[in-house]
Amino acid sequence: MANSSAYQSKQPDENGNIHWSQQENAIWSELYHRQISLLPGRACQQYLDGLTLLDLPENRIPQLSEIDSVLESTTGWRTAPVPALINFSSFFALLADKQFPVANFIRSREEFDYLQEPDIFHEVFGHCPLLTNPAFAHFTHTYGKLGLAASKEERIYLARLYWFTVEFGLVNTVEGQRIYGGGILSSPGETCYALESNAPLKVPMNPLDVLRTPYRIDIMQPLYYELASFDDLFTLAESDIMKLVQQAMKLGLHAPLFEIAPKQAS
């Protein structure tokens, strides 16, 4: 997790609303329209169903209260406004309380196509639609509770599970491979690359292997793990994940499929 950010989250007013500028709303609109055109035939149906439920505005950044009203009525979740970056303890504590952290800033024009930090577009467009789904919501809640109780070393292993599921997961469907990871679904380049490029490996989900797989945050992913079905997230949440973490710690990491970059491989 990065230690500093060039962005500052905007503060809500007395009614909990953020006053976004015309330029910030324009960036949201362009990101939204670019990404929404790529989703048919690529995003999983559970995500598309959630996107319909949220009914995100096309031409302005939504208020978090608008997101909360849908999440609370479907799975009991809500969003939590946070600074641009938070530590692991705060992150896990929020998830354990069914609160999904959302930083109240949007990327600049200079970083329009790629941003390492999670901005409001990534968090709301990429992740919040699936928080309306019971299996995904249960997995994320369970993950938060496990992370909150885990040691510092265990959290590093758990971070890989989150990365290869919530952020960069694929799922098998009767129509073919589909995307459910928010890190892919909020990125136009990776949305096409993940399904249509022959460069990355795509392998069946094996939780123990996932926990042992290094990743980098600043490259197109060389490897994706695919669920056999979306409901496998619920099954995974009900398994003994921490036992698998202990096994992974004993076995050690797989060899990375990328060049190691200092402070960017986990």
Can you name the residues that pair with 101 across neighbouring β-strands? 80
Task: Give me the tens of pLDDT residue by residue for the chain, a chain 266 residues long.
Answer: 445 678 888 989 999 899 999 999 999 999 999 999 999 999 999 999 999 999 999 999 999 999 999 999 999 999 999 987 899 999 999 999 999 999 999 999 999 988 888 999 999 999 999 999 999 999 999 999 999 999 999 999 999 999 999 999 999 999 999 999 999 999 999 999 999 999 999 999 999 999 999 999 999 999 999 999 999 999 999 999 999 999 999 999 999 999 876 655 55
Tracing tokens 């990065």 back to the chain, one arrives at 2
Tell me the binding residues. 122, 127, 167
φ, ψ (nearest 5 deg) of residue 227: -70, 145
The CATH superfamily label for domain 22-251 reads Aromatic amino acid hydroxylase (1.10.800.10)
Cα–Cα distance for residue pair 215/144, rounded to 1 Å: 20
Cα–Cα distance for residue pair 53/35, rounded to 1 Å: 17
**CA neighbor of 47 nearest in space, from 164, 155, 126, 158:** 126
**CA neighbor of 74 nearest in space, from 136, 166, 121, 123:** 136
Q: Encoding tokens for residue 21?
A: 């500028």
**Prediction pTM value:** 0.94
Tell me the binding residues for Fe cation. 122, 127, 167
Residue 259 neighbours by CB under 8 Å, 6+ apart: none
